[in-house]
Amino acid sequence: MKIPEFSDQEKLEKILSKTGTSLANLAKSLEMPYVTVWRWLKKGVKPHPRQSRDIDQLFKEYIDLREIVLSLRKKFPNPIETLKNNPETRQNFILQMTYHSDAIEGSRLTLKETELAMAGQKVKGKEIFEILEAINHKNAMNYMFEVIKPGFKINLDYILKLHSIIIYNFNDKLPGKFRTGYVNLTNTEKKLPSAQEVPLRMDNLIKNINHYGKDPVGKITKDHYQFEEIHPFFDGNGRVGRLIMATQLLSQGFAPAVIRIEDRYNYYMALGKADYGNYDNIVQMVCDSIMMGYKLLAF
């Protein structure tokens, strides 16, 4: 299956078509000379990688990636079956998601070192907790693949089970139990719910978590934000939250979203914008990450 990948020229053309703006205004948006953007469009000149990133960012501001993701679901209707029946594809998916998810949380393991850790081999120069994190994440994903099926319903027991696996052997972090005190998020002033509020907030989340409506990707994205906003555990919230999102997506026939370490800053920025009710960036990022998931399924 071919996963759509748009060239810089195609992205610029789609922006012009979608917005109806002029080439001059497009050049201003990119803070580039008119003639440079004209050459990109008309002469096939390739932008510098930094300029490509700016084009991609502008593309995602104007083009709703949900349409692309929904079309992929039609072309690739049963990712669960693919992952369960193809050990090599599943193993690569687990490796990629474990590496990126752990790295987002600060792990220093490389992709190759993550693979060694998951195989139970020694990794020189790294802390034991980093090794355990990789093994635990692999085990949590294996558990997810054991129980997942189309239409799978998430409940509290499932979430606590994921957490107990992710934080296995970190007993001071209360594996499988809600936090009993306050936690602080770095790089934000947002106040998190008190420990006393967590059970009620989680109950409200779970009541609606299996209802997706007409915009399943948007709903799953908002659920992910809500879970991270509650931050119900002392540790492991990001990893568990991304596994919950993967579970939801698989249950609805989508590939799991693989948020990459390269996108960590934008991921946190998008979650920060959601604090003020703007979900556009985080929805686009999740769509982009689902497309990455489809690429891995085609591995």
Q: Which domains does the chain have, with CATH numbers?
A: 1-63 (1.10.260), 79-297 (1.10.3290.10)
C-alpha to C-alpha distances, 81 to 145, 153, 177, 287, nearest whole angstrom: 10, 17, 32, 21
DSSP state of 86: -
Find out whether 79 and 250 touch, Cβ atoms under 8 Å: yes
Q: How far apart are CA 250 and CA 256, in angstroms?
A: 6
How far is the CA of 215 from the CAs of 67, 137, 220, 288, in angstroms?
A: 11, 29, 9, 16
Confidence check: pLDDT of 299 > 70: no
Q: What pTM was computed for the model? A: 0.91
pLDDT of 219 higher than 80: yes
Q: What is the pLDDT of residues 11-68, one digit of tens each?
A: 999 999 989 999 999 999 999 999 999 999 999 899 999 999 899 889 988 889 999 9
Average pLDDT, stretch 90-116? 97
Encoded tokens for 27? 């050049």
CA distance 166 to 236: 7
pLDDT at 4: 63
The widest CA-to-CA distance across the chain, in whole angstroms, is 62
Q: Which positions ≥6 away from 190 have C-beta within 8 Å?
A: 229, 272, 275
Pick from 54, 72, 55, 49: nearest CA to 12: 55
CA–CA gap between residue 239 and residue 122 (Å, rounded): 23
Dump pLDDT digits (tens) for 48-57: 999 998 998 8
Share of the chain above pLDDT 70, in %: 97
Mean pLDDT across the stretch 139-145? 98
Q: How many CB atoms lie within 10 A of CB 35?
A: 9
